[in-house]
Structure 1
Amino acid sequence: MCSIEKILVSIVLINILRLETYLCAKNNSKIIMEDAQEKYKFLITGGYRPKIDTLAKYVVSIRGSKHRWFFGDDHKCGGSIISPKVILTAAHCVCKRHSRIRLKPSDLTVVAGTPRRLVPTETTQVLKVDKIIRHVYYKPLTFRNDIGILLLVKNIYEDGVAVQRISLQTHHLPPYTKCTVLGWGRVFFRGPMPDEILHVDVSIMPDNYCDARTDKYAFGMMCAGDLADPEKDSCSGDSGGPLICNGSVTGIVSFGVKCGIPEHAGYYTNVTSYLEWIRENGFSKLRPVNLILLVILQIFLMKVKLN
């Protein structure tokens, strides 16, 4: 076969593969739902989908500025809605790979209002980023101070069903407190990402357990897992998403040893250790009217919890 014919054949094969990839992604959610019913134990790792999802409304998908082949193929990280204009996430999600160099706001978009990654729904909101903030002392090699904020150009519309802000955990929780982490991360180490968001229930582990399993453990970190089932873990693509305990965002998915490894746990940025930083770099950047409304809402949420 001459070189021109080889080139033409290659072009045809590439386009066939692109079409198959697109069609596969388009039908992915249907396949996932059918398989999830009986055939597979989904990992987030070790995760599940609740019949009534009350947590996905707090979570956003942080993506590139434009998908490559199909909607959702540029998902990078998760994030938490802590005000209509403020998204809480990990520093490594808003920086260039293995560096402290921040991405440009135009490099990212935020998708809210749907548990689906690949299929836009009636409640899906795609929002532009106005400003990126990461902790000034973030250390990419050790993941210290792995916390960042995205300030949005426009407010997220909150309907309380598909989209809602979540409160911040204001005090340190004791070991073995049960929590839930959720996201669109890989279903196992180096595996595929799901279309529909997955949940996994884990418990906060004691500091000595966390410290004994990595030399990176430091102030501002926490770890969580399940001693009886080590497959219950966050994974690549869940980064930046929330660890929710007692209805508040308590941790931010940061790093781990692969995913679901026995005798290990997932590591999270401890939100309670950074409350002042979040207020100074997130809420204080809002206009005074928005800030007052946010304070009132936070007080209201705390009263509801106490009652």
Structure 2
Amino acid sequence: MITMLQGVFITSIISALAVQDCTCVKIIGGQDAKPGTGSYMALIKDTAENFCGGILIDKLWVLTSANCVVKQLSVSIGTHSFKDRKEAQTFEVVEAKVHNKYNIKTEWNNLALLKLNTTAKLNKLVKTLSLPKSAKDIKPGTKCKVLGWGQTTPKDEDPSDILQETTVTIIDRKICNSEGYYNKNPVVNDDMLCAGDESGKQAKMCRGDIGGPLICKSSSLKSKSLTGIAIFAKGCDVKKKPGIYTRLSNKYIQWIKKTIKSKTKNISIEQK
């Protein structure tokens, strides 16, 4: 059963998505990802066919944005084509755990975990993406990758059939918080990242699904690593409104590990 408190929480999430123009599954100017590239990508859907991105980090758990948590969710993994999901594995979400300090107004602590009803079967199309071993901050100018099934042009609201990917660049938080950009609405703090066009003149968020991964390679990392989760976009391809991501800092990595291991429930939504 969904409690009254949970019902209010769900309603507030839906309202927030509407205000932010966030079905937010939009990759503008991306390119088709090669089959198998997004083997860790999760397609999260509700009964109204609204969808989000997510990351399979464990055979039983998907990491996503708190903004994606509504009732009656299902998850498809192993999906390359949005329309053709014959080879995909589909699951019900039996439990959703939102970070206990998530603030819908500020977007702080915006992350959630979805527990699947059965374990995913790993194969060439379905793989987990490990949590980062290093939680060091990512320097401005770092190139990162985002993936999603979203629309491919600002005017076309239909999702892309084929998984899309593109490159974004980390932008200094001071720039993102400046008057010409987000003007501290929301405030991009140390647990968040701002990424878009290298010049900062044109946003590329809406180039990544809400809930989808930000994958970066920095001087402190020998290979590309899961770095963040897409959480916020102001419209789609709007100038000086880059995408905002929750950065997987040490405290979030510890929260994720503890949540997965723990049998206690934080915020749960039972599927009917």
SS of 1:268's equivalent in the other structure is strand
Give the number of aligned pairs: 224
SS of 1:115's equivalent in the other structure is coil
Name the amino acid aligned to 1:278.
I
Relative contact order (alpha carbons < 8 A, sep ≥ 6): 1 or 2 greater? 2
Check 1:228–1:206 CA distance in 2 against 1; reply closer, same or farther (3 A cut): closer
Work out the CA distance in 1 between the residues paired with 2:228 and 2:192: 8
Q: CA deviation at 1:46?
A: 1.8
In structure 1, the partner of 2:258 is 280
Name the amino acid aligned to 1:250.
T
SS of 1:56's equivalent in the other structure is coil
Pairing 1:78–2:53 present: yes
Pairing 1:162–2:125 present: yes
Q: CA deviation at 1:64?
A: 1.4
Name the amino acid aligned to 2:213.
P
Q: Is 2:166–2:207's contact at 8 Å kept on the other side of the alignment? A: no
Name the amino acid aligned to 1:141.
K
Pairing 1:58–2:36 present: no
In structure 1, the partner of 2:229 is 252
Q: Is 2:40–2:56's contact at 8 Å kept on the other side of the alignment? A: yes
Work out the CA distance in 1 between the residues paired with 2:85 and 2:99: 32
Q: Is 1:185–1:234's contact at 8 Å kept on the other side of the alignment? A: no
Q: Is 2:36–2:80's contact at 8 Å kept on the other side of the alignment? A: no
Work out the CA distance in 1 between the residues paired with 2:212 and 2:237: 17
Which one of 96, 111, 124 corresponds to residue 76 of structure 2?
111
Q: Is 1:188–1:235's contact at 8 Å kept on the other side of the alignment? A: no
Check 1:174–1:165 CA distance in 2 against 1; reply closer, same or farther (3 A cut): same
In structure 1, the partner of 2:175 is 209
Per-residue CA deviation, residues 53-82 of structure 1 (Å, 9 max, x unaligned), is 4531111100114xx6xxxxx141000010
Bigger Rg, which one: 1
Q: Which has the higher helix share?
A: 1
SS of 2:198's equivalent in the other structure is coil
Q: Is 1:113–1:125's contact at 8 Å kept on the other side of the alignment? A: yes
Work out the CA distance in 2 between the residues paired with 1:258 and 1:266: 10
Work out the CA distance in 1 between the residues paired with 2:253 and 2:141: 22
TM-score between both structures, scaled by the size of structure 2: 0.75
Q: Is 2:99–2:110's contact at 8 Å kept on the other side of the alignment? A: yes
Work out the CA distance in 2 between the residues paired with 1:178 and 1:237: 14
Name the amino acid aligned to 2:131.
L
Q: Is 2:141–2:198's contact at 8 Å kept on the other side of the alignment? A: no
Name the amino acid aligned to 2:112.
G
Q: Is 2:31–2:165's contact at 8 Å kept on the other side of the alignment? A: yes
Unpaired stretches in structure 1, ≥5 consecutive residues: 1-42, 69-73, 95-102, 287-307
Q: CA deviation at 1:283?
A: 4.0
Work out the CA distance in 2 between the residues paired with 1:145 and 1:244: 19
Q: How does 1:1-307 map to 2 (within 5 A)?
A: 44-50=27-33, 52-65=34-47, 74-94=49-69, 103-104=70-71, 107-121=72-86, 123-159=87-123, 161-169=124-132, 170-171=134-135, 172-189=137-154, 191-212=157-178, 213-214=181-182, 215=184, 216=186, 217-228=188-199, 233-235=204-206, 238-246=209-217, 247-273=224-250, 274-285=252-263
Q: State the superposition RMSD in angstroms.
A: 2.3
Per-residue CA deviation, residues 72-124 of structure 1 (Å, 9 max, x unaligned), is xx141000010000100000100xxxxxxxx34xx000000121112222x21
Name the amino acid aligned to 1:204.
I
Name the amino acid aligned to 2:42.
V
Work out the CA distance in 2 between the residues paired with 1:262 and 1:202: 14
Work out the CA distance in 1 between the residues paired with 2:199 and 2:177: 19
Q: CA deviation at 1:145?
A: 1.2
Work out the CA distance in 2 between the residues paired with 1:236 and 1:228: 16
- What's the % identity of the aligned pairs? 32
Check 1:232–1:57 CA distance in 2 against 1; reply closer, same or farther (3 A cut): farther
Work out the CA distance in 2 between the residues paired with 1:209 and 1:237: 20
In structure 2, the partner of 1:31 is none
Structure 1 stretch 166-175 or stretch 249-258: which is displaced more? 166-175
Q: Is 2:75–2:90's contact at 8 Å kept on the other side of the alignment? A: yes
